[in-house]
Every structure is written in C-alpha cells, then in structure tokens.
C-alpha cells in the first residue's frame, strides 16, 4: 500500500538515521554496514534491499541535507544582494549561517552531523562528492561565487579560485574535527562552544582570509636550508 503521505518504511529511516551518525563519527570507509544495521536494529540485508548498495546509502544520507540547505542558500544570497548590491565579505559568507542552522530541523543536531559528513565526504570520496554537488547544485554555487567576487572585485579570478578553495578547506576541515575541537575548547578554556559558535567564529576568519590583499611578491628563501642525516 502506498500512503498518501509516503514516509517510507520505518526501516529505511532507521538506517539513514543510524548511518549518518556513524558516518560522521568514523567516516564512510570505516563504518561497516553491520555496524549500521546493528545500531538501527534492522537486518543486515535491509541496506541493500532499500538502498541497493553502500555507495547509494552514502549519497542518500548527504542528499537529505543538501536538498534542504542549498535552496535556502540560494534564497539567502538573493535576499542579501537585494538589500546590499555591494556586499562585504562577511555579508556574503554570512548567508551560509541560516541555511546551515536550518539543518537542525531536518534532524536533531543536523547541522553538526551534516558539516562533519561534508568534511568526511570531501576527504574520503576522492572528488566524487565535489562532482555530485557541482552537478546537482552548480547553479546555486555559481550565484554564491559571483557574490564573493562582488565582495572582492580587485581579486584576479585565478586568485579567487584559490581563495575559495582555501575557504572550503577551512570550513570543511574545521567541521570534520568540530567534535574534537569543541571538547578541547571546553576542557582547556572552560567555555562550551556549539556548532553555531564555531560558524560565528569561522565567518570573520574566512572573510578576512578570502579578501586578503594579494602578496606583493613571492616569498623567497632567505637562509640556506641544511639537511644533515647522521
């Protein structure tokens, strides 16, 4: 029977919910289907029955979040540009805050889970995730990049390319290790920090980095490097 409001089998949701937690915690490669099905309390074969393969399960885990976040990014960028046609870098990157925090409505702690998944995906899937996002959300991303360019009109396109990938790196890596960082911060500085706190601290860093003036000249090696192997 097909429900009018098809919420899918509970099994399928249980698998997704268990999988995303384990994926975020241990990465895709180091999370076995057996660990997932055990945590979800479903049969091992259910994954291949409902998703076909582990690879497709990973895709659907990420898709659940991207489908919510990316349209919101588009909306926020448009709204920001309507209000301020010549935005500063913090305004541009600030458009990401709402979409990211919106993910907490997809699942409890959804923002934290998604950004960690993103970090894992970028470093583990050897470019597959990058291509997937580019293919499905390339238009949205292009409009975002255009906004970045608007905030740094003097930056050559090739330099902007590198800056944006630096920004992605900062964001993705920080988020991938966000759990550990929050624990260290809480222990060493006695100040609990949540994902929203990290995002708010990231914006100034990324904004300043991306908008930094281009280095006047290539740094040269001043002292002669020495290598003495006993």
Partner DNA sequence: ACCCATTTCATACATACGTTTGAATTTATA
Partner DNA sequence: TATAAATTCAAACGTATGTATGAAATGGGT
Query: What residues from 21 to 80 belong to the interface with DNA (CB under 7 A)?
Result: 31-35, 42-50, 53-55
Say if CB 50 and CB 15 are below 8 A apart: yes
For the window 1-30, what string marks contact with a copy of itself as x by the rule CB under 8 A? -------------------------xx-xx
Say if CB 59 and CB 15 are below 8 A apart: no
The residue whose two tokens read 């990973």 is 58
Residue 120 interacts with a copy of itself (CB under 8 A): yes or no: yes
Residue 175 interacts with DNA (CB under 7 A): yes or no: no
Residue 17 interacts with DNA (CB under 7 A): yes or no: no
Among 114, 122, 137, 144, indicate the residue that binds a copy of itself (CB under 8 A).
122
Q: How far is the CB of 127 from DNA (least distance, A)?
A: 19
Say if CB 86 and CB 78 are below 8 A apart: no
| H/E element, 94 | helix 89-94
Say if CB 37 and CB 15 are below 8 A apart: yes
Q: How far is the CB of 25 from DNA (least distance, A)?
A: 14
How far is the CA of 218 from the CAs of 103, 144, 147, 215, in angstroms? Answer: 42, 30, 28, 7
Residue 168 interacts with DNA (CB under 7 A): yes or no: no
* CA–CA gap between residue 95 and residue 72 (Å, rounded): 9
Residue 1 interacts with DNA (CB under 7 A): yes or no: yes
Residue 177 interacts with DNA (CB under 7 A): yes or no: no
Q: How far is the CB of 131 from a copy of itself (least distance, A)?
A: 11
> Binding residues for DNA, per CB under 7 A?
1-2, 9-11, 31-35, 42-50, 53-55
């Amino acid at each position: 029977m097909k429900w009018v409001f098809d919420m899918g089998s509970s099994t399928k949701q249980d698998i997704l919910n268990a999988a995303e937690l384990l994926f975020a915690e241990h990465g895709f490669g180091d999370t076995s289907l057996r660990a997932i099905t055990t945590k979800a309390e479903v049969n091992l074969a259910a994954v291949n029955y409902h998703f076909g393969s582990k690879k497709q399960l990973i895709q659907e885990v990420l898709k659940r979040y991207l489908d919510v976040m990316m349209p919101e990014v588009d909306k926020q960028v448009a709204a920001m540009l309507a209000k301020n046609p010549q935005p500063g870098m913090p305004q541009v990157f600030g458009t990401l805050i709402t979409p990211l925090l919106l993910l907490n409505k997809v699942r409890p702690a959804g923002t934290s889970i998604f950004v960690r998944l993103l970090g894992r995906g970028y470093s583990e899937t050897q470019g597959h995730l990058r291509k997937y996002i580019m293919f499905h959300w390339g238009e949205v991303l292009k409009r975002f990049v255009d906004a970045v360019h608007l905030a740094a009109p003097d930056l050559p396109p090739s330099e902007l390319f590198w800056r944006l990938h630096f920004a992605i790196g900062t964001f993705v890596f920080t988020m991938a290790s966000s759990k550990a960082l929050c624990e260290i911060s809480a222990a060493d500085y006695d100040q609990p920090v949540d994902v929203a706190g990290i995002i708010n601290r990231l914006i100034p860093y990324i904004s300043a980095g991306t908008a930094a003036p281009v280095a006047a000249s290539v740094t040269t090696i001043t002292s002669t490097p020495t290598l003495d192997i006993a």
